[in-house]
Chain A
Amino acid sequence: MSSAQRAEGQLVKQKPVAQKEVATISNGDIDLPVSSADLKSSRAEKLNRSAAAQIINGFALLGICVLAFCIRLFSVVKYESVIHEFDPYFNYRVTGFLTREGFYNLWNWFDEHTWYPLGRVIGGTIYPGLMWTAGVLYNVLHLLNIPIHVQEVCVFLAPLFSAFCALSAYLFVKEIRGQGAGLMAAAFTAVVPSYISRSVAGSFDNEGVAIFALIFVFYLYVKTLNTGSLAWATASAMAYLYMVMSWGGYSFIINLLPIHCLACVFTGRLSHRLYVAYAPLIVMGTIGAAMIPVVGFNAVLMSEHFGAFFAFGVLHGALFIRYVKSVLPAKAYQAAKTLVLTGGVAIIGVLLALITGYVMASPTFGWTGRSLSLLDPTYASKYIPIIASVSEHQPPAWPSYFTDIHVLVLLVPAGLAACFRPLSDASLFLILYGVTAVYFSGVMVRLMLVLAPAACCLGGVAAHEFLLALTRAIRAPNLAPSPVTDASVSLLDTAAAPSPAPKSKGKGKSSAAKAEKAKGKGVTAESMFDFLDTSGKGRIPRDVAWIGLVAATLGLIFYIGHCVWVSAEMYSAPSIVLQTRDPQGGVHVFDDFREAYGWLRFNTDPNCKVASWWDYGYQTTAMANRTVLVDNNTWNNTHIATVGRAMASPEKKAWQIYRDLDTEYVLVVFGGFIGYPSDDINKFLWMVRIGGGVFPDIKEKDYLAQGSYRVDDQAPPALLNCLMYKLSYYRFAEASTMVTGRYGFDRVRNTMIGKTDISLQYFEEVFTSEHWMVRIYRVLDRPNRETKLKNPRRAKPPRRSSSSSRPRSASGAPPK
């Protein structure tokens, strides 16, 4: 027991009952405060059942883990063991560096292959948790003489951690509502489509381990909350450190915990356990976070973290008031209260003024742009086009809720309601988690990922309660409910899960009365489905219960079916290799990206610089091993704007920009030939917006025809003459007749292009992939000689044939 707890014990005059409950809870994981009289009568039988339940429970968890792992292997089965998308390629490259060069060299890695010529300090700008995890796994495997390639470790890391995530969801919900709900939550988590989308095999992204870390931190926090043990608090601080290391989303935790803390303080749930759970986590977590280079002093300087410190202060204030109240007589307490209130208000006023001054001095009020765009959903589209340009930063469409969490949409509200009855510190936490996650998922489709585990946990609670009530109704009707059945059911029941909150003096009596009442009525009395209570008059008939049970089972089966389908069909495409099915059922594979990167790797100078839109930066450095100007780590807006400006400029100006940046090759992605919609022409308006945000000579309206973006002959001249248009459609018109039979028909925009005779003066086509998806151009050197310069005194253009009948220009004609 910590000193804090001791102090707490002295301060708070707890009821003996409450203390006893605390003691039983810290004994083990599944002990339930069932009244001892019931237990004694059937102890032997219960032990047997309990053991059997534990074994079944273990096998169920094992099955859930295997399922979580296997459902994510569709991508490997359908395609191959390959890294997906964009960011994972960078993570893979960094992991490769880590395994080759070691920990310290990664920390100090200055990478001159990206962001030419600025370079990037990789060690100080990444969240290294994912790479370290993969690196450790790789080294352990090699220590065991399992000679696995680092790419395989990277590919299978995310499925492995989703199994761990399912386990931590089990532990988390078990802490709140017991094993049954935990199992349901684990099963939901294992297959929830939203999480699958980020953790299929090959998707080697931060989120793959971070969601596990998130749930694990929550579990440890709730565990500490329930036990009040400093050991668990330390563990949760360590888990928080891992989370900070892994993902920028740690700021969700550091804001959710204070909200919970404040909610507990202001609803009279202040306890020593809350203190032990919260205060050490904030202190150690902040110190730990500051040691991660990418966070550093942000851990105490950015507004994201201020909420935590505020709650920290409030918690101490509340405890101090309670202490003062306990030592002073009532009268003196009142006097002290007024004194402290006046003084406190003054001090707080000064502090607030200081903090406000500090915050207001920053243009974003001390928040990072990304966080601000969460609080104000319109912020990014107004001020930061680079954040708004990413599709996963858009608000989600309604159907995506159904696609991503399916039946949980229905279960979440029920779960929220279930958490209120009875409300414990832990279930309050789950409620807050669910509510905030719903909000954030509404702002950004990417944060659906944060909602998914919350939905699974809430859904697990709800489904558990529902099924429990139904099965009880089915089993009960023949006889009056015997105490044995009741107790056995309660083994898996969660309503009795530890929720003893030491109440303040005033509320002590009522809570005691409540506890008495609950004891008499049985553990299910406070369940949400009270109205289904088997002993009450409103009990459901057996057949209705059967129907309900079948319906619920069907719903769950549909959920599993949906998840498998989504995993197989929607979320397994690696996006670096594309597949289509032709009407005959054959599969056609488009491997243009790797073809193009391979070309660059083997046909260009190793030191050459390749310009492309930032989406393809990570892939170019990882697969082609060439230097790029900008990449998916969008830390320098100006540099990206420069590339956007070049793409939006006429050929000569663009050539000048690229020459200044020593660029030798320009890579564009073009989908008009085969109908690949996410190509550079469709991304072009973002290039204009981002470029125009920094360079005012690029104006979006110049590229729009009466407010609409079109590439046909109605397109404005600025668009028809810009580099991106030329590079995309160069030689396209002739080629398009081979595919569509129509001269210059773009299959993505479904239109005839506006300019078919495109000639290039400063660029030279060097490579076009099989399906024209990737086109690479060389930036030509300055011409060796000066030809065709503007010369006002030039008499006439030189002609090849002197027999031309063209009349001589007036200035050249001899006077008659």
Chain B
Amino acid sequence: MRGRATLLACALWLTVTRVQAQKSDVLVILEDQQLKSTHSIFFGHLRQLGYQLDYRSADDKKLQLRDWDSWLYDKVICFAAAVPEFGGAADAQALLEFVDSGRDLLLATDSSASDELRELTAGVGVDLEPQGRAVIDHFSYALQSLTVDHTVVSGQAALAASAVLGGPIEAPVLFRGIGASVAPESELVLKVLTAGSTAISAVPGKPLTEAPTLAGNETTLTAAIQTRNNARVTVCGSIDLFSNEFFRWSPVVVTPGQRVGQSGNRAFATQLAEWTLQDRGRLRVSKVRHVLAGTSETPQRYRIRDQVDFSVDIHEWRKGSWQPFKADDVQLEFVMLHPYLRVNLAHNNKGTFSTRLSVPDVYGVFKFVLNYQRPGYSHLFVSEQAPVRPFKHDEYERFIPAAFPYYASTFSMMGGFFALTLLFLYHKRPLP
């Protein structure tokens, strides 16, 4: 367990150093170089944030993610759909390894998504619909001038995702592209944007003869994934969502007759990108320490019923620096097979979370476990082994009041025996 905590610390340290190098290179894989201009607002925002963008074509023969063991980029943004295969050394497997190394990926695609991309999204737990299908909503769609396109639908930003998006987004988010489904038991995938209740996933322009397999709120439009090593991946079924056109779409008419001002795409896209590129919701844990209460030493093992002071520092990455994290729901568990104690940690506004706990009256190999998982925030997992021993032979109370009758009985018997012996040995029975 301590090894794991060290690993975690190392990973965090790496993260820190990486960020301090400030906004290293972002690889932008584009299916079509035109996207650079049609999505200029989005990319401009990223540059404002300080990222260096390296635009590459999806079929670029020199596309390369790593040079032997060192990764060339820290983040990848991929706007691609129909490319059957990436150029160069990049492919779905390489991108998944990229994610497994703790780096982040923002992926947007559309109805023509190729099998390569499908494999990539399936690798992070998002199953795209078959090629050619799009999300269609015949009751609630966006209108622009006179063209009627039922495939431009408005998505609803899920309330649970407000941590990802930095707050609720009220305006409708316009979406044109492919839907996806997520396994019900998924723990890591967070549905950020889902379709309205009247949406279906089908091939546009073709009559529908059987019930669609994916419809309504189940249709995931954008999914945010935080892997177990805290890498972040976002899968969005629409490239257009990030486009200047959708950013500027105004006024939006959703369902005939209902008018809303500006589309929410700009806020949504930029916030989503900030989260994905680890600019928000990032936590780090440091200085895990537990000491015998009132002292500053960590014993090799605690004794049952000892008082222990536990503290840990948690910081949040905000506005370019590590700020103290503030939360009232950080919990600590004291575990042997199952938690014997579960206590809330109090913080001092300087990022130090601490508590005093008394070791239960059970000996064994315990662990301090801090497992903090909140949607939108990095997972924090700390596990420190702390064996608990029973009393030593000389640590019990020597004389207890309840035993006084027994002491009295013992000593009186000893005295009586002594007296009887004397009597027996030196008393002469008169002869009859």
Contacts and interface: CB of A to CB of B under 8 A. Distances in A.
B118 A798 contact: yes
A815 B205 CA distance: 11
A513 to B, nearest CB: 33
Contacts of A118: 336, 364-365
B99 A785 contact: yes
Given A3-B421, A119-B364, A791 B181 contact: yes
Given A785-B124, A796-B130, A791 B365 contact: no
Interface string B163-196: 0000000000000000001111111110000000
Contacts of B225: 785
B184 to A, nearest CB: 7
B119 A791 contact: no
B18 interface: no
A116 B99 contact: no
Interface stretch (B55-63, B210-218, B238-246): B210-218
A329 to B, nearest CB: 14
Contacts of B421: 3
Given A814-B132, A815-B209, A802 B84 contact: yes
A812 interface: yes
Interface size of B as a range: 35 or more
Given A118-B336, A800-B115, 6 more contacts: A3-B425, A119-B365, A607-B385, A795-B181, A802-B84, A812-B129
A108 B393 contact: yes
B208 interface: yes
A782 B228 CA distance: 8
B183 A791 contact: yes
A3 B365 contact: no
B363 A789 contact: no
Most buried by B among A118, A783, A791, A796: A791
A558 B341 CA distance: 68
A812 to B, nearest CB: 4
Top 9 A-B pairs, shortest CB-CB distance: A789-B183, A786-B125, A793-B181, A110-B389, A815-B209, A791-B183, A812-B130, A798-B118, A112-B387
A3 B424 contact: yes
A110 B387 contact: yes
A802 B3 contact: no
B130 A785 contact: no
Interface of B: 1-3, 84, 96, 99-100, 114-116, 118-119, 122-125, 127-133, 181-189, 203, 206-210, 213-214, 218, 225, 227-229, 231, 301, 336-337, 363-367, 385, 387, 389-390, 392-393, 421, 424-425
A420 to B, nearest CB: 40
Contacts of A787: 122-125
B118 A107 contact: no
A794 B127 contact: yes
B130 A607 contact: no
B90 to A, nearest CB: 15
A815 B212 CA distance: 11
Contacts of B123: 785, 787
A786 B387 contact: no
A801 interface: yes
A785 B97 CA distance: 11
A786 B186 contact: yes
A267 interface: no
Contacts of A796: 130
Contacts of A791: 127, 181-184
Interface in A110-129: 110, 112, 116-119, 121, 123
A811 interface: yes
A13 interface: no
Interface string A115-149: 01111010100000000000000000000000000
A700 B129 CA distance: 46
Most buried by A among B1, B2, B183: B183
Contacts of B203: 814
Contact of A112 (B133, B184, B365): B365
A562 B390 CA distance: 51
A615 interface: no
A157 to B, nearest CB: 26
A287 to B, nearest CB: 12
B185 A790 contact: yes
B228 A789 contact: no
Nearest to A791: B183
B124 to A, nearest CB: 5
Interface string A210-237: 0000000000000000000000000000
Contacts of B424: 3
B228 A783 contact: yes
A425 B186 CA distance: 80
Nearest to A811: B213
A118 B338 CA distance: 12
B133 to A, nearest CB: 8
B118 A117 contact: no
A799 interface: yes
B144 to A, nearest CB: 27
A605 interface: yes
Given A786-B186, A814-B206, A798 B1 contact: no
28 contacts: A108-B389, A117-B337, A117-B365, A117-B366, A117-B367, A119-B364, A123-B393, A605-B3, A607-B1, A607-B385, A661-B337, A662-B1, A783-B228, A784-B231, A785-B100, A785-B228, A786-B189, A787-B122, A789-B186, A790-B183, A790-B185, A791-B127, A793-B214, A795-B213, A802-B115, A808-B130, A814-B132, A815-B210
Contacts of A107: 393
A114 B387 CA distance: 12
Contact of A799 (B115, B214, B390): B115
Contacts of B130: 795-796, 808, 812
A141 to B, nearest CB: 28
B229 to A, nearest CB: 5
Contacts of B206: 814-815
Interface in A768-809: 782-787, 789-802, 808
Contact of A785 (B96, B115, B363, B366): B96
Contacts of B301: 110, 112
Interface string A607-632: 11000000000000000000000000
A808 B130 CA distance: 9
B84 A607 contact: no
Contacts of B365: 112, 116-119
A3 B364 CA distance: 52
A575 B373 CA distance: 50
A790 B188 CA distance: 14
B213 A786 contact: no
Contacts of A660: 337
B375 to A, nearest CB: 15
B125 A789 contact: yes
A256 B113 CA distance: 86
B229 A117 contact: no
A793 B125 contact: no
A30 B416 CA distance: 41
Contact of B390 (A121, A790, A802): A121
Contact of A801 (B100, B115, B186, B229): B115
Given A811-B213, A815-B209, A786 B115 contact: no
B339 to A, nearest CB: 12
Contacts of A794: 127, 181, 183
A793 B125 CA distance: 13
B392 A108 contact: yes
B214 A784 contact: no
Contacts of A816: 209
A694 B401 CA distance: 42
A119 B362 CA distance: 11
Nearest to B100: A784
Most buried by A among B127, B132, B229, B424: B127
A108 B231 CA distance: 47
A795 B127 contact: yes
Contacts of B366: 117
Nearest to B303: A110
